[in-house]
Structure 1
């Protein structure tokens, strides 16, 4: 069934349905085991492997490079569909798609060629940016030191989402003088240890725990020539979270619709001989579905702003202005999408009975996952940035960093 026929609205391009058709059977397989994996804490190694085999991780590469030539709106629409299947998997691939954008926007032809080949070979990249130590905001305790023509990496990262499933880790560090450096570190290099110690109540299968680097030897070709991120990085990474929320909303809407249709028991004070005929219950289902629809539409609109920024940058023009507008568009979407999905994943229980809270149905995972995603990069600061832009014309912050004051 096409996205249009399912009532979620037309896709972002004329060719979207053909693109999505190749991945939907994989999404269906992933969704089929999502509840069982959540209950058993089974990490999605196989599921990410299926996506690799299908070429999902190469979406943004040109066809002649082993990819699909997907636009950013097409990528984000597919991330919504993947999140409908399992938002843990989307989050586990977030760093990989961000690294891909970094590569596509790099000013170094050598870096682009090297990583185009690796990504085209379906190698993937996880995250090694955030720390929970005593480093000040904007700095890192993770250090790269010159060592006989190579580099020696030492440090500790947390929120290393997706690294346990990946071939490489994108690591942000600094040298002994405090200058920023970025390295691509092989996951299986001696001295690399990844620990699945993420214990959040939601997004629990993303392997967002600790990575430890002890005297890891890094070749100079694995140091990114320019440590700066791509122009629309802030907007991109946050929009992945919003796409994930939109997919959670769709999954919740589908689940509550199915359970209402199957429900045999009714209340004596209800309005129909079956739950599916009760107008008040239909209203609840409609509200949940409407929230999911709106969230998806907002994500796709914001993705257009990212595509404009990418096009400007690839044309060799200064992208700062376009990136600033993309930041605002995504920032002003954050609270709206978050509220829609958090409300929907709570409201859905009003259409069902007490049996809906049984753990085997997995309905609680929708709220847990949404609440966890919504806690990344606090939305209160997003709202403030939008207000400052609207009132004073102030540009939004280009990066969000966490550390000691």
Structure 2
């Protein structure tokens, strides 16, 4: 597959969408901020999290898209935080990147999840693209353009079985198919589409969100992660310039950190959900819960059983955060020196973090109601959003298979498989 030289995309006229299609968002009116280093990335994340937390419950309650919040998030420069320094980015460590996602997810996990595939594709471009294509696409990201997601398909036998395909048409390709679980596509400027060539190889065909034939339908009806708008993308004769055709399959032909990067971001989202649920539990018990009748205590926060339970959750949160940091350092090594050993070490470290973050996330959101009491279930508090978000997001990449790859490596020395879910 040859590529053609193409200048950066400019926004064309909006196509005629179906009745259920949603028009694309406007391009940024000014270039995004360029983050300098890891410390600045973390400081910006903390500042944004304080803003995002304010309306998180109401956005969930009314399924309101976080339009202004996502604009602020991408304009802050955090969506370009893993662009290599050689191309003008901060190239923060994956320890920092995972912490940023956990910080944002503790405020609003839907907002924390939306850039997951954007950051993963940025990492893939670093792995598989030519220097010319990297300069083009990293330039788009640095100026504030958001990449969405048109990866998964609803009706295929397995997640890796894609029916979406493209055909060569000279200086561009033409893509046809249908996608679901398209987190980020609705609010994106560019939509990476996983599509197969005539040899069955998977590429990222990165289309302008307003390209004729690309329709995003806001039909995400899950009870959790409600404002990710992770619905359907319909692709009918969508034209993509070859300069925007990224050979994603190359990231899994030999050992690379690409799969571990997609996965560590998922673990970071779950860590953030758990952190938020524990904080809500502590606040509710301190300010609203009543002590049990048999305790003889004045305040629910003095209950020794509650103290023990909160202590247990807190210790496990610290352990999860530590494992996330360990995984980030392993990913950094695998990015710098990719080989079978470093990549397997990164995958296994991320699996550890994914296991603990999943289990803590679900347990913490359950314990919230057990420890806070019946009053915490009232609709006015909307605390069930934490459980709904936890139960929904942790279904990504089943944790039982994380145990399997860790156990198979420990027992039999078998490295994890190379794909985006491992």
Answer whether TM exceeds 0.5 for this pair.
Answer: yes
Aligned counterpart, 2:416 = 396
Residues 301 and 226 of structure 1: is their aligned pair in 2 closer, same or farther, counting only changes over 3 Å? closer
Counterparts of 2:38 and 2:170 in 1: how far apart (Å)?
50
- 1:142 maps to 2:167: no
Task: Answer yes or no: is 1:239 the counterpart of 2:264.
Answer: yes
1:253-268 mapped onto 2 (5 Å cutoff): 253-263=278-288, 265-268=290-293
Question: CA-to-partner distance for each residue in 1:102-151, whole Å, 9 max, x for gaps?
Answer: 12223510111111111110111111111123466644211111224421
Do 1:295 and 1:341's aligned partners in 2 also have CA atoms closer than 8 Å? Answer: no
| Larger displacement relative to structure 2 (261-270 or 19-28) | 261-270
Deviates more, 1:225-234 or 1:324-333: 225-234
How far apart, CA to CA, are the structure 1 residues paired with 2:302 and 2:159? 55
Offset at 1:211?
Answer: 0.3
What is the DSSP-based 3-state SS (H/G/I as helix, E as strand, rest coil) of the residue aligned with 1:218? strand
Whether the 8 Å CA contact 2:150–2:191 is kept in 1: the answer is: yes
Seen in structure 2, the aligned counterparts of structure 1 residues 330 and 351 have a Cα distance that, compared at 3 Å, is same
Matches within 5 A, 1:325-336: 325-336=345-356
Corresponding residue SS for 2:239: strand
Alpha-carbon distance in 2 for matches of 1:337, 1:181: 31
> Which residue in the other structure is 2:366 paired with?
346
Q: 1:24 to 1:223 in 2, by over 3 A?
A: same
1:166 corresponds to which residue?
A: 188
Q: Give the Cα–Cα distance (whole angstroms) in 2 for the partners of residues 53 and 222 of structure 1.
A: 22
Check conservation: 1:58, 1:66, Cα contact below 8 A.
Answer: no
Q: What corresponds to 1:376 in structure 2?
A: 396
The 1-side partners of 2:65 and 2:175 are apart by 28
**Normalised by the size of structure 2, how large is the TM-score?**
0.85
1:298 aligns with: 323
Q: Are 1:320 and 2:337 counterparts?
A: no
- Structure 1 Cα separation of the partners of residues 157 and 86 of structure 2: 43
> Shift in Å at residue 289 of structure 1?
2.4
Residues 134 and 16 of structure 1: is their aligned pair in 2 closer, same or farther, counting only changes over 3 Å?
Answer: closer
Q: Does 1:360 align with 2:385?
A: no
CA offsets 1:220-265 (integer angstroms, 9 cap, x no match): 2111256423711221112111111111111111111111221264
1:111 equivalent in alignment to 2:136:
no
1:381 Cα shift? 1.8
Distance 1:335 1:134 in 2: 26
* Count of aligned pairs between the two proteins: 383
Instruction: Please name the residue that 2:200 is paired with.
Output: 178
| Residue 213 (structure 1) aligned with residue 235 (structure 2) | yes
CA–CA separation in structure 1 for the residues paired with 2:420 and 2:120:
15
The aligned counterpart of 1:81 is 103
Q: Deviations over 1:192-221 (max 9, x none)?
A: 101111211211211111100111112121
Q: Is the contact between residue 247 and residue 292 of structure 1 (CA under 8 Å) also seen in structure 2?
A: no
Which residue number corresponds to residue 274 of structure 2?
Answer: 249
Post-superposition CA distance 1:35-78 (Å, at most 9, x none): 11111101112111111221111112356855433111111111
Question: What is the rounded CA distance, in whole Å, between the counterparts of 2:278 and 2:334 in structure 1?
Answer: 33
SS of residue in 1 equivalent to 2:389:
helix
Q: Which moved more, 1:171-180 or 1:39-48?
A: 171-180
Counterpart Cα distance in 2 of 1:180 and 1:340: 34
